[in-house]
Each structure stands twice: as structure tokens, then as C-alpha cells.
Structure 1
């Protein structure tokens, strides 16, 4: 049985962001709002974005010699 992968739509991304701000890391509640996304898909998206943000931060630190950098995108997601 093959695994079907479906990209997140712009609408899903926007709703995910809004729900994340409202509900924090309550992936079960978020997945209930995103009816076509499972708990695991929501949780994976969160942690994949967190990892991507951290990689971006690391690259920026190397390029700018550890100067403080503001990330609008990072401020948007409550990664801890």
C-alpha cells in the first residue's frame, strides 16, 4: 500500500497559523479544525517548521557573526 502525500494548501497554512496562535501546541484540537489533516500531520508540520526556522537562524548567525536578528516568521509561531 503506497502512502499518499498531499501538500498543504494556502488556506490550510493560514488556518494552521491562526489555530496555533489560539491553541498553542494542542495538535488534537488543531486537527479537529483542519478536518482533512490528522493529529500526526499537524504535529509533523509544527515540528518541521520549527526545524526549518532553527536551520534559518543558524545560517543567519553564521552569515552575520551572531548579531541579533528579528524573524517575523519565527515570532508568528510559538516554538519552544
Structure 2
């Protein structure tokens, strides 16, 4: 029976967790060709992966150049 955004000392709050989302798509390996203006950060952002993962999947790549092909893993 909480009204508004205020809670008071001594109130009991019941919190339930939402069920975990089930992935319907299996993880896929993707080959990406670097475009002019791309950086590891922009590529990581675009594919929702960590920069360090991209480096690991591609022999510790530190920089990218247009035309370079990168292996990406994700859904």
C-alpha cells in the first residue's frame, strides 16, 4: 500500500524478479568488413559486444583499417 514515491522506515517491501528472457536465436559467427570511420568502439557498440572480446576473437587487434575483416560472435 505504498502511495507516491515515499517509503517509511519499518515498511515491508516485497520484490519479485522478472523471469529471465530466453534467447530464441542461437549465437552466430559474423564476419564484418571495417568501413571508413569505424573504430573498435563503434563496431562493439553496433553489435552490442565488448571491445576486448573483439580483440580476443581477432588476434588481439588494437586498431582497424577500412577493408579489414573482423570475426564477431553474438546473437
Higher strand share: 2
TM-score after normalising by structure 2: 0.35
Q: Which one scores higher on RCO, CA 8 angstroms, separation ≥ 6?
A: 2
Higher helix share: 1
